[in-house]
A and B are shown apart, each in its own frame.
Chain A
Amino acid sequence: MTILLIAEHAGGTLKKSAHELSSAARALDAGATIHALALGAGATSVATELAAWGAQAVRVGEEGFEPYAPLCWTCAVVDVANAVKADVILFGAGALSRDIAGRVAMRLGGTLASDCMALSADGKGIKIVRPTHAGRVTTTGAFSGPGPLVATLRANAFAVLKPAQPGAGNVANLNAPTDTADLRAIVTATVQSTGTRPELSEASIVISGGRSLGSAENFKLIYDLCDVLGAAPGASRAAVDAGYAPHAMQVGQTGRTVNPALYIACGISGAIQHLAGMRTSKTIVAINKDPNAAIFNVADLAVVGDLFQILPALTEEFRKALK
């Protein structure tokens, strides 16, 4: 198989998702020819790392790819996929894939599978496992064409394994498309978040607070624990609607989907729409004063008690343990 990885980076620092794409590609086909594409300012500096992660060839495009224009990026992905005759194109599930993967798949005459949790090949085709209906069901399907498969991979769902041998990593520069039609949609301003905490959908630990926190000030209890653990803070919709936390922090059906190694739910009842955004987390700890809270049904560790007492104690104990 020929597999093209759409490698995302932040100004030249490769994102963790790129390691997951590489690992998923090699797990799908140990003999795959792996190509990688990195676009935007700083793309050139991730080429070496992509080679170390098994890419035989890396295409990088910097000039003309900023500011971000979805059609311009679509065109680049499609051109490279066609040039290398990619059977599979992998994106990390996130803002970029949600913006352009549907268009890429349509232009390639292929098929999109979003938020995949597992991919495997059985000689006849590719088996795809993905949650649908906000995680209420898991769907297993088989794909054997026509056209390539465009798959977006849910963060933290694929085991990360560095290849024993690096790829050749031949780097080629990619020129931006010159058709002005590709600039019909373009970003004109970007406000970067100033926070130092990890990105919610990529974080390996997420700690969320619910309505019961009672105020924006009290969310400090969540932020303090996050900072000790290097975790990303999240919130229930009720907490967001009450103005205790920004919408960007909302986890659930109408917020973000997270899939961390550890999810700590603090004072969250466990409504189905909240579970939709976090139920695939590997380990779930819930703190709730109601022993019958629905969140306990999905929790590996159910802590019954008052979060206003337990959270500060937990922050203190972790601080000691991690010193």
Chain B
Amino acid sequence: MKIAVCLKPVPSTTADLRPAADGKSLQLSGVEMLVNPYDDYAFEAALKLREALPGSSILAVSAGGDDTAKCVLHAIALGADAAIQVKAPGISARGAAFAIAAALKDFAPDLVLCGRQAIDDDQWEFPGALGELLNIPHVTAVQSLNVDVDGKKLTGKRRFNRDEQTIEATLPAVVSCDKGLNDPRSPTLKGRLDAKKKTATIKTPADLGLDPAALISTIRIETIAPPPQKSPGRIITLPPTDAAREVVRWLCDEAKVV
């Protein structure tokens, strides 16, 4: 089976993010970039499938700015058979779908795996957009995944609002992965050393027949600001029963939220 895994570089979850001087972008120099945590579940799922289905191959793809190098290196160190880095800085989730759909054309994957959401722009857009461009079904946010290669279908389980759903799809398909799917492994030292010997194929939008301008978001950013800061709240340090009474009084009579 041919498996493609899409990975995106994102700022570390604990990084102190600040707007840049222009007030329209983020100050990212010096901010540690990581592989989007949900993409780790996708890559682990690919490794598990390759182990179960000998002869399978994994192609890692990352599209975006220079930090995509980090993603492809990570994937190679974890055992990707090949990797494509599409150099297209400043692209949107939608732009990434265009770039990756084009980059996957020759490989013709049976299964494309990605994370349920990129934790930087939080759009939840990519899997459906990619499925549409590849004209194959997409299944989002699975917490379990079984692939039946002979039957050319997959079964996933996921939460859908309050329900637990079992969903089936025919192959080829795009599947986005949620926490709980597996326990992602980290690259070994040997993997990291081996990674130095392999290289990713580097492409530009032009190589893929795409206009870079068409990959930028159509929403023009006007401002990026820290979330509204709250003024310090009231502190209560009373004995339990008195504290409870005061909380109830405040919520019912002052804040009027209960």
Q: Is A165 an interface residue (CB 8 A)?
A: no
Given A102, A112, A299, A321, which contacts B233 in the complex, CB threshold below 8 Å? A299
Q: Can you list 11 A-B contacts with CB-CB less than 8 angstroms, sorted by A residue number?
A: A68-B165, A101-B125, A101-B128, A103-B132, A137-B224, A140-B222, A188-B166, A190-B164, A273-B14, A300-B233, A313-B240
Closest chain A residue to B222 by CB distance? Answer: A140
Question: Which chain B residue shows the least CB distance to A93?
Answer: B124
Contact B227 A99 (CB under 8 A): no
Q: Does B13 contact A (CB under 8 A)?
A: yes
Q: Which residue in B19, B137, B162 is a CB contact (below 8 Å) of A71? A: B137
Bound CA span A300–B180, Å: 33
> Contacts A137-B19, A191-B164, A303-B247 given: A296-B233 contact, CB under 8 Å?
yes
A31 part of interface (Cβ distance < 8 Å):
no
Residues in A neighbouring B241, C-beta threshold 8 A = 313, 317
Given contacts A199-B162, A262-B257, contact A185 B244 (CB under 8 A): no
**Number of A interface residues in the complex (CB < 8 A):** 90
In the complex, what distance in Å separates the CA atom of A95 from the CA atom of B235? 37
> Which residue of the partner chain A has the closest CB to B167?
A187
Instruction: Assess whether B167 is in contact with A134, with CB atoms less than 8 Å apart.
Output: no
- Distance to closest chain B CB from A150 (angstroms): 9
- Measured between beta carbons, the chain B residues less than 8 angstroms from A188 are 155, 166-168
Report if A41 contacts B (CB, 8 A): no
Given contacts A300-B230, A321-B258, 6 further A-B contacts (CB under 8 A): A94-B161, A99-B160, A146-B218, A185-B168, A247-B179, A262-B258
Tell me if A178 is interfacial: C-beta within 8 Å of chain B. no
Judge whether A132 and B233 touch: CB under 8 Å: no
The segment from A167-175, A208-216, A279-287 found at the interface with B is A279-287
B228 touches A138 (CB 8 A): yes
By a CB distance below 8 angstroms, the chain A residues around B217 are: 111, 141
What residue of chain A has the Cβ atom nearest to residue B228's Cβ? A138
Separation in Å of the A273 CB from the closest CB of chain B? 6
CB of B219, distance to nearest CB on chain A (Å): 4
Q: Which of A21-29, A44-52, A81-89, A304-312 contacts B (4 or more CB under 8 A)?
A: A304-312
Partner of A140, one of B162, B170, B221: B221
Q: Would A248 and B159 be within 8 Å (CB), given that A138-B224, A229-B258, A261-B257 are in contact?
A: yes
Q: Which residue of A lies closest to B19 (CB)?
A: A137
The prevalent SS among residues of B at the interface is mixed
Q: Is the CB of A193 within 8 A of B220?
A: no
CB contacts between A and B, total, < 8 Å: 255
* Inter-chain contact A199/B161, CB cutoff 8 Å: yes
> How far is the CB of B6 from the nearest CB of chain A, in Å?
13
Complexed CA–CA distance, A132 and B245 (Å)? 37
Question: With the chains together, A310 CA to B243 CA distance in Å?
Answer: 7
| Cα distance A229–B258 in the bound complex, in angstroms | 8
Q: How far is the CA of A103 from the CA of B134 in the complex (A)?
A: 11
- A39 to nearest B CB, angstroms? 14
Q: Does B80 contact A (CB under 8 A)?
A: no
> Does A239 sit within 8 A of B, measured CB to CB?
no
A314 within 8 A of B: yes
Does A305 lie within 8 Å of B163, measured CB to CB?
no
| Proximity string of chain B (106-146) to chain A, C-beta cutoff 8 Å, 1 when within and 0 when not | 00000000001101111111111101110011111101000
Chain A residues with CB under 8 A of B136:
184
Q: A218 at interface (Cβ–Cβ under 8 A)?
A: no
CB-CB under 8 A from B173, the residues of chain A are 184-185
Alpha-carbon separation in the docked complex, A145 to B131 (Å):
23
> Contact between A205 and B258 (Cβ–Cβ < 8 Å)?
yes
Contact with B along A179-221 (1 / 0, CB 8 A): 0000011111111110100010100010000000000000000
